Structure 1
C-alpha cells in the first residue's frame, strides 16, 4: 500500500497536469478570438503560422528571461546539445505546427480534432517500448480507450461523420500528432541533462523564429495589433511559456504513461471554455457523457501500479 507522501505527490502531479490542460484548452477560444480581432481569415494559413510564430517566440524569450533571473545558464551547452535543442525546437514547435495548420486547411475541424488526439496513443505506445518502468497495463489501456472515446464524443457533430481521407488533410494531422509525441519523449530525454525551463525556452525561441520565417516568406501578415489583441497575444505567450515548462518538468520526473493520458482533458476544457467565451453549445448529452468518460479514463491511468489489473 503506498504511503501518504507517495499519494500526495501523485495527486500533485495529476493536479499540475490538469492545470496545464486547462491552460491548453483555453488556447482554443483565445486563438479564435485573436483571429477575429486581427482579421485573419480561416484560409490564411501563412498568417496563422506567423501568428503562432510570434506567440511561441515570445514564450521562449519569457522563459529565457525567467531562467536568467533565477541564475540559470543559457549558453553553456556543447555543440551536440545545441544541435539537440535545435532539433527539439524544429520538431515540437515548427514541424508539428506546420503539418497541423496545413492539415487543418484540408480537413474538417471535427475530424482534425479526432485524428490529432491520436498523439496521446502515440506517446503512451512509444513509452511502452522505450521505458522499462512505463509499460502498458490492462487498466491503463482501458483508460486510454475511454479517454479517446470521450474526445471523439465531444467532437461529434450533429450529422454522421465523413470518413473521406486525404494525405494533405487527415494524413498531415496524424503526422503532426506523431511528431508531437516523438518530440515530447525526446524532450523528456534532454531534460535529464538540461534544465527544463532553459530547454523549453531555447526550443520555443528557435522553433518560433522558424515559424516566423515560414509565415513571412509565405506572405503572411499580422497587422493592426491593438489593446485587446495585444493583451490576448500576451496571454497566449504566457500560457505557452507556463504550460511547456511545467509539462517538461512533469515528464522529467514522472513516467510518460502517468502524464500523457491526461491530455485527453485538453479538448474537453477547450469545449467548455469555448462554450463560455464564444457562446457555443455545451449542455448536450454527448458533452456530459464525454466528461464522464474522460474522468473515468483519468482515474484508471493514474491509479498506483499496485492497484492496476
Structure 2
C-alpha cells in the first residue's frame, strides 16, 4: 500500500470510528428527550421497557435486512448456536437495557454517559481472569484506576465524603455497564463461529422482543406518539443498526488496536450532547475532571501495547 492509500485508509478509519461514537453518544439525550415526548414518568418502568424493546427489535430487523442484502446466512445455525444467540440477546440487550433505561430515567445524561464507560474497565478486569493472553499490564491497571477515580469524582456531593449516588440511577447504570462487559466477552467467543453482523442482528431482535413482552406484561404503553417522537424512535433504531454495522466492518478490516481506542469519544459526545440538548451542566469542575479522567483511562486500557 502506497503512502497516499495508507493515509486514505487511516482517514477512513478515523472518520468512521468518530461517526460511530457520535451516534452512540447521541443516544443519551435522545432517550431522555423520548421519555418526555412520549409522556413517560421516571417510575413508569413498563413503558420504558416497551420503548426500549421497540427500539432494539427495530434495530435488529434493520440489521437482518442489511445482512440479507449482503448475502450473509441468517438462519442456518445449530440448536446450540441458537441457544447461544438467545443467551447473548438476554444479556446484551434485555438485561443490560433493563438497568440502563431505568437508570437513565433517574440520573442525568451527562452522568450516565460518563458512568456507563465503566464497562470498558470491567471488560479489562474480567478479561484478566478469563483469558491467559489478556493479562493486566501496568498501563491497563493505571487506566482502570484513573477511570474509576473519575467515576467516584462525578458522584461526590457538595460536601466532602458525601455521595450523590442512588441505586435506581447511578447504581443501575453501573450494573448495566457490568452486564455489558460480561456480554461482550461472551459475544467475542460466539463471534468466532457466527458472523458478527448476523450475531448482533439476532441478539438485538431476540433481546428486543423480550423487552417488548416485559413492557406489555407490565401494562406499559407508548403514548403521545407524534411525527416528532416517531422520527426520534426511528432515529434510535437507525443509530444502533448503523453504529453496530460500521463498527463491525472496522474491526473486521483493521487491527483492533486502531479502532477500539476511539471509544474514549463516546462519553465525550454523550456528555456534550446531553449538555447541549438537555440543558444539563457539564462545565462544573467535577464533571469536566471526571470526563477527562474516564476518557484518559479508556485510552490507556485500549491503546496498543508498546515495548520499551
| C-alpha distance in structure 2 between counterparts of 1:130 and 1:253, whole Å | 26
* Cα offset, 1:193, TM superposition: 1.5
**Who is 1:77 aligned against?**
77
* Cα offset, 1:237, TM superposition: 0.3
1:235-268, Cα deviation, whole Å (9 max, x unpaired): 1001111223344556678898987675454333
Give TM-score, length-normalised by structure 1.
0.81
Are 2:21 and 2:269, in contact at CA under 8 Å, matched by a contact in 1? yes
**Who is 2:245 aligned against?**
245
**Who is 2:236 aligned against?**
236
RMSD: 3.6
* Cα offset, 1:269, TM superposition: 1.8
* Cα offset, 1:41, TM superposition: 1.4
Give TM-score, length-normalised by structure 2.
0.81
Q: Which aligned pairs between 1:61-210 and structure 2 lie closer than 5 A?
A: 61-102=61-102, 116-153=116-153, 161-162=162-163, 172-210=172-210
Residues 234 and 67 of structure 1, relative CA distance in 2, 3 Å threshold: same
Are 1:146 and 1:297, in contact at CA under 8 Å, matched by a contact in 2? yes
| C-alpha distance in structure 2 between counterparts of 1:138 and 1:12, whole Å | 31
| C-alpha distance in structure 2 between counterparts of 1:68 and 1:152, whole Å | 45
Q: Which aligned pairs between 1:263-302 and structure 2 lie closer than 5 A?
A: 263-302=263-302
2:44 is the alignment partner of 1:58? no
2:47 is the alignment partner of 1:47? yes
**Who is 1:36 aligned against?**
36
* Cα offset, 1:301, TM superposition: 3.4
* Cα offset, 1:148, TM superposition: 3.6
SS for the counterpart of 1:306 is coil
Unaligned runs of 5+ in 2: none
The number of residue pairs the alignment matches comes to 304
Are 1:258 and 1:302, in contact at CA under 8 Å, matched by a contact in 2? no
Residues 201 and 283 of structure 1, relative CA distance in 2, 3 Å threshold: same
| C-alpha distance in structure 2 between counterparts of 1:297 and 1:142, whole Å | 7
| C-alpha distance in structure 2 between counterparts of 1:27 and 1:280, whole Å | 15
| C-alpha distance in structure 2 between counterparts of 1:4 and 1:301, whole Å | 30
1:121-147, Cα deviation, whole Å (9 max, x unpaired): 221112223334432211122223333
